[in-house]
Structure 1
Amino acid sequence: MALLLYASYGDGHLQAAKTIRDQLAAQGCRRIQMVDLMGEAHPLLDALSRRFYRSSYRFFPRLYGWLYEATRLAASRSPLARCLHSPGRRRLVQLLREERPDILLHTFPLFPGPPAGSPDRPALTAAIVTDYDLHRRWVHPGIDRYYAPTEEMRAELLAAGVPEERVCVAGIPVRPGFDARLRGLDRSELSRRGFDPELPLVLLIGGGAGVLGGLLPACARLLEARPRLQLALICGRNAAFARKARRRFAGHPGAGRLHVLGYVEELPELMRHAACLVTKPGGLTIAEGLAAGVPLVLFRPVPGQERRNAAYAERMGAAAVARTPDALAEAVLKLLADPVRLKESARRAEALGRPDGAERIAGDLLRQLEGYTGKEWPIRPSCRSRRNPG
């Protein structure tokens, strides 16, 4: 049995857990349980902290960045780290005693679990780092296996004292379909979704309210500057913003080339036909873009992990970073006007992408457990004796 823990601070941790759940099931795991540990253990504290998370992103980004940087290098045994890992501890121990999982997998850095030698400890405790920056909350002696997104982070983990044999570079897990090998193969997919297959497509994905608002003036400038360009503005579940966007562009000369969409299941298909992707620099969204081999323009990175995610993608040549609507439009226009640069950015994105990350992580989790035959979910002798005493 596998117990997958996530948190509801942004969508990336949940999506990573879902993707691994699907891969574990495909590779033979019969029982998988996903748990929002903070949501279950401390629902009021969870709601307040999520509200603070969203508000600080929008209204106090420097405060959020300061808190992130102030805690980023805290050692796992420091009083600060112990405090950060304390929420959810009691509920997790209760879950481990009730469910007796063979694998405990974290996609958010919470209390890792009981220490070695405890009868409640699973056979394998693992963590998937879901950003391109290593916050020391992830580093804990109770983690048996780390899944890092990059070789750079592997080196950081080793420098932080993690034994080399505990680290596997597998990427941030993305859903099937985000794959550069499928890029541009069947442009008729665009026709079926109401797009013009002859026009380049710029895909814009909103993140928070501050980002979404900045996308509208950038869209207006792009439509005016490039008559042969179409835009897909993904508003997610923010129906109010979608209505605002449609009202703003009603009667605009380029309105027919702006597609305002809500939550879309076909994001992998759109991404692999996009000339470039404009998005917030969340770890999972960057991973999806890299896996799809699409050049990135990262908009308004908030201090903290977003700024460090953006710095990584920019440093590796797969992204440009823009902080204002004018700078965003200019970055997209410069990229589209330079086919050589556009192709090189796509090549670098593809080189960094790991479309098979979820499959690799699930397979490695199973291989780490003793006695896995490929036919039955593995249970180590120690786990077996705990489940069937005597």
Structure 2
Amino acid sequence: MRTLILSVSAGGGHVKAAEAIELYVKLDNPENEVMLVDTIKYINPILDKVVIGGYLKSLKFSPFLFGKLYDLAENGESIANFSNKVNEIIIHKLIPLIEDYAPDVIVTTHPFSTEMISILKGKGKIHIPVAAILTDYAPHSFWIHPNIDAYIVSTEEMVDEMVRRGVERAILHPLGIPVIPGFTKVFPREETLESLGLNPQKPTVLLMGGSLGMGKITALYEELQQTETDLQIIVITGSNHKLFSRLSDEKNTCIKHTRIIGYTTEVNRYMQACDLLITKPGGLTITEALICGVPLALFSAIPGQEEKNAEFLIKNHLAVDLGDGKYCRNIIDSLLSSSDRLMEMKNNCSKFAKPNSGYAIKKLLYSLIKES
């Protein structure tokens, strides 16, 4: 099987899902070949800097504006039509790539690459089965295009919502968002905490802001210092080096025992060791937390998709909402003092976790090739 995976590096989730599928396709079958392409960067590196750079800046400096653009794209046709026209202009650069690699199946993990392939199929330029993996817990109109052979979504509830938006039920597969093979490996809590010099008998809070270390993590860390609960803290700062340095300095004068961790490939290890995860509600982070069975407290949801993710979590009693994190100490104290509520949230995780998503998606890709 030759698989072409088209992603876009707008945030870590789309790329992580693509990398997970790459590993699963190669797993147990060395003859399988995979090419993973950062689509916009491949087409035009300058365009990538403009589009992706602008996207990341809007998330950091103007999340309200980003939310407004999200709503316009969801409810109106102007932005969608503009996106379609831009893709019409640039997609021809993908044709030589696809012809030279000659994949048996194409996987997309971002709306832009999904739309590009939809256009190419609609024009009759390619005749290859395509599977799109939605990397959140609610759909958006930007994802929905004709000529897609399979949509892989997170939950059964998303299937119904996609059907209401006009997608055929037969091509919807609630297989979940894939995480890398081995993510389900069990790490004993005591060993992890002792290796960090922390006390396994104390409540442990994990604070993180996604791969970019975004959100008001410093303010939240200061709030945690004011909690009445005798807790200890692990902070993962991701690729945010300034945040790592700032918190590393700050923790030396703080009351609560703290360990600061930068970019890590062992998120599952730290999730399994904590009693509560305080995080932004990104799709991949949610997926990982559900698999690890850790209750969630959410902060600084980006207007749009992350807000929709938060709605899903709160509605299903998987998380509490901390808003922007101000004055959240009482919410955290209340939650950590309620063992019954924490256990309910942990048990609810198992209802939505899909730890075998990668294997199921690989099986689906084989079936798409067989049917084509």
Q: Same fold (TM over 0.5)?
A: yes
Deviation string for 1:233-283 (max 9, x for gaps)? Answer: 1111222211111222323333xx110111122211111121011111111
User: Quick one: distance in 2 between partners of 1:148 and 1:76?
Assistant: 26
Over aligned residue pairs, what C-alpha RMSD do you find?
2.4
Equivalence for 1:142: 147
Aligned-residue offset at 1:75: 6.9
User: Quick one: distance in 2 between partners of 1:253 and 1:329?
Assistant: 14
Equivalence for 2:368: 368
Amino acid at match of 1:197: P
- Tell me, yes or no, if the aligned pair for 1:74 and 1:80 is still in contact at 8 Å: no
- Cα distance, 1:337–1:224 mapped onto 2, change above 3 Å: same
1:183-332 counterparts in 2 under 5 A? 185-207=188-210, 211=215, 214-226=216-228, 228-254=230-256, 257-332=257-332
Amino acid at match of 1:146: Y
Q: Secondary structure at the match of 1:300?
A: coil
Deviation string for 1:1-34 (max 9, x for gaps)? Answer: 1000110110000000000111111153521000
Equivalence for 2:173: 168
Equivalence for 2:5: 4
Equivalence for 1:376: none
- Cα distance, 1:126–1:95 mapped onto 2, change above 3 Å: same
- Cα distance, 1:269–1:286 mapped onto 2, change above 3 Å: same
- Cα distance, 1:339–1:177 mapped onto 2, change above 3 Å: farther
Q: Secondary structure at the match of 1:2?
A: strand
Aligned-residue offset at 1:96: 1.2
Name stretches of at least 5 consecutive residues in structure 2 with no aligned partner.
none
Equivalence for 2:53: 51
Equivalence for 2:121: 115
- Tell me, yes or no, if the aligned pair for 2:213 and 2:237 is still in contact at 8 Å: no
Equivalence for 1:158: 163
From 30, 34, 37, give the equivalent of 1:35.
Answer: 37
Which 10-residue stretch deviates more, 354-363 or 243-252?
Answer: 243-252
Aligned-residue offset at 1:231: 0.5
- Cα distance, 1:242–1:79 mapped onto 2, change above 3 Å: closer
Tell whether 2:115 aligns with 1:106.
Answer: no
Deviation string for 1:327-356 (max 9, x for gaps)? Answer: 433332221011111111111122111111
Equivalence for 1:386: none
Aligned-residue offset at 1:42: 2.1
Q: Secondary structure at the match of 2:330?
A: helix
Aligned-residue offset at 1:326: 3.1
- Tell me, yes or no, if the aligned pair for 2:300 and 2:325 is still in contact at 8 Å: no
Instruction: Give the paired residue count.
Output: 365
User: Quick one: distance in 2 between partners of 1:104 and 1:96?
Assistant: 9
Amino acid at match of 1:266: E
Aligned-residue offset at 1:44: 1.3
User: Quick one: distance in 2 between partners of 1:27 and 1:313?
Assistant: 34
1:329-340 counterparts in 2 under 5 A? 329-340=329-340
Aligned-residue offset at 1:84: 5.8
User: Quick one: distance in 2 between partners of 1:326 and 1:11?
Assistant: 26
- Tell me, yes or no, if the aligned pair for 2:279 and 2:297 is still in contact at 8 Å: yes
Q: Secondary structure at the match of 1:244?
A: helix
- Tell me, yes or no, if the aligned pair for 1:76 and 1:140 is still in contact at 8 Å: no
User: Quick one: distance in 2 between partners of 1:25 and 1:291?
Assistant: 22
Q: Secondary structure at the match of 1:326?
A: coil
Aligned-residue offset at 1:296: 0.6
Deviation string for 1:170-219 (max 9, x for gaps)? Answer: 1111224544x94x7552232234332222211111245761xx322332
Equivalence for 1:377: none
Amino acid at match of 1:21: E
User: Quick one: distance in 1 between partners of 2:123 and 2:82?
Assistant: 25
TM-score with structure 2 setting the length: 0.91
Aligned-residue offset at 1:40: 1.2
Q: Secondary structure at the match of 1:325?
A: coil
Which is greater in Rg? Answer: 1
- Tell me, yes or no, if the aligned pair for 1:8 and 1:50 is still in contact at 8 Å: yes
Which 10-residue stretch deviates more, 86-95 or 33-42?
Answer: 86-95
**Percent sequence identity over aligned pairs:** 29
- Tell me, yes or no, if the aligned pair for 1:299 and 1:328 is still in contact at 8 Å: no
TM-score with structure 1 setting the length: 0.87
Tell whether 2:7 aligns with 1:13.
Answer: no
- Cα distance, 1:328–1:41 mapped onto 2, change above 3 Å: farther
User: Quick one: distance in 1 between partners of 2:287 and 2:342?
Assistant: 18
User: Quick one: distance in 2 between partners of 1:279 and 1:43?
Assistant: 31
Amino acid at match of 1:243: S
- Tell me, yes or no, if the aligned pair for 2:229 and 2:336 is still in contact at 8 Å: no
- Tell me, yes or no, if the aligned pair for 1:291 and 1:355 is still in contact at 8 Å: yes
